[in-house]
Structure 1
């Protein structure tokens, strides 16, 4: 139980740090509002998750057959 609570606290701290970093750094970046940038922002998270899950699935199948 304590390890789960510690994991949640760590996750919240990392999320807070990331949020503050985005809030402070993002205004200084100039990213033009184009259709390409919008597509990248929308599709990149799903693409990264898909690749990650397929990679883990391949590793799981390889481990299962050995």
Structure 2
């Protein structure tokens, strides 16, 4: 589901080709929900799934571990 921020981004910027648009607030919320659902687990993010530095920095700040 597209958030309003993503819709606004796409309305004002027209990429010349395919692109991936990620709402970092959604990433943050999903990480927190995952932590809450599995409180005794260590969460690993697969860097090869999406190596965007913005996502990696956010997840690192939130305490994620990484599978490289």
Of structures 1 and 2, the one with the larger relative CO (CA 8 A, separation 6+) is 2
TM-score category (smaller protein): under 0.3
- Greater Rg over alpha carbons, structure: 1
The TM-score normalised by the length of structure 1 is 0.27
Output the TM-score relative to the length of structure 2: 0.26
More strand by share: 2
